[in-house]
Amino acid sequence: MKKIVILTGAGISAESGIQTFRGAGGLWNGYNVMEVASPEGWAKNPALVLNFYNLRRADAAKAKPNQAHIALSKLEKKFNTLIITQNIDNLHEQGGSSHIMHLHGKLSEVKSVANDNIVYDIGDKPIQLGDTAEDGQQLRPNVVWFGEMVPMIAAAIEETATADIFIIIGTSLAVYPAASLLHYVPSSTPVYLIDPNEPDIYNPPTNFSFIQQKATEGVPMLVNKLLNKRPI
């Protein structure tokens, strides 16, 4: 079975009603991203950060997967398919995909501020200052903030380096190290990028196709093409 690796960003969930952040002028739902998604922001105002993620968690709980999330799950019929997502929502899971790597963590999870291995799934519930883990430490969202390590990046690079087809959907490719994955794609591997806006790509791959469409249009079209086309 050929292997497809798909890198997704906030744009794939935009048509499910979840805002992207670059699209909103560098703000994330009206907040300065560094105030709500960095260790410095957390040190300055943890209550604001918790409230921000409580709102995002509640929004995401109401969202439904769109035709792009659903179409990607169909690739599993014919391909060894892995989705590497920068998104913290669970719309790929709801859309039926089974192999998903959440590079930047999950909205539905919280962890101890003192121990990355003490993680709880809280679904769509809020957390407040004073809510603690079993080690007595404050709980925080289990998401990767700007300036923090991305624990899964090594595994993501390994998967990308063995992709037969690589697809990028709805990401500005402005957040590192996720954006650097593109440079690990083998040179013979076709790369498709679906986004209504063309991201600025330094040194684009040789076998590169830009599909200038919204995810709900471009993704089902590409999936149909890949499912019918032989050999790839």
- Convert 171-197 to b/e letters by CB count within 10 Å (16 or more is b): bbbebeebbebbebbeeebbbbbbbee
User: Smaller CB distance to ligand NAD: residue 163 or 181?
Assistant: 181
Shortest Cβ contact with ligand NAD: which residue?
A: 11
Q: Catalytic annotation on 104? A: yes
Reduced to 3 states, what is the DSSP secondary structure of residue 28? strand
Q: Which is nearer to ligand NAD, 74 or 214 (CB)?
A: 214
Q: Which of 69, 92, 102, 104 is catalytic?
A: 104
Question: Residue 104 or 140: which CB sits closer to ligand NAD?
Answer: 104
Cis peptide before 177 (omega within 30 of 0): yes
Q: Which helix (H) or strand (E) holds 70?
A: helix 67-74
Residue with smaller CB distance to ligand NAD, 59 or 164: 59
CB of 146 to ligand NAD, least distance (A): 9
CB 219 to ligand NAD: min, Å: 8
Chain positions contacting ligand NAD, by CB under 6 A: 9-15, 18, 20-23, 28, 86-89, 104, 170-172, 174-175, 195-197, 199, 214-215
Task: Work out how close the CB of 1 gets to ligand NAD at its nearest, in angstroms, rounded to a whole number.
Answer: 27
Structural contact between residues 101 and 159, judged by C-beta atoms closer than 8 angstroms: yes
Rounded to a whole number of angstroms, the minimum distance from the CB of residue 91 to ligand NAD is: 7
Distance (Å, whole) CA 180 – CA 91: 24
Task: Give the number of other CB atoms < 10 A from CB of residue 44.
Answer: 12
Tell me whether residue 168 or residue 226 sits nearer to ligand NAD (CB atom): 168
Instruction: Report CA-CA distances (Å) from 56 to 72, 108, 139.
Output: 24, 10, 16
Residue spans of alpha helices (H) in 100-228: 153-160, 215-228
Work out how close the CB of 66 gets to ligand NAD at its nearest, in angstroms, rounded to a whole number.
Answer: 9
Among residues 57, 40, 61, 51, the alpha carbon closest in space to that of 128 is found at 51
CA distance 141 to 42: 11
**Positions marked catalytic:** 104
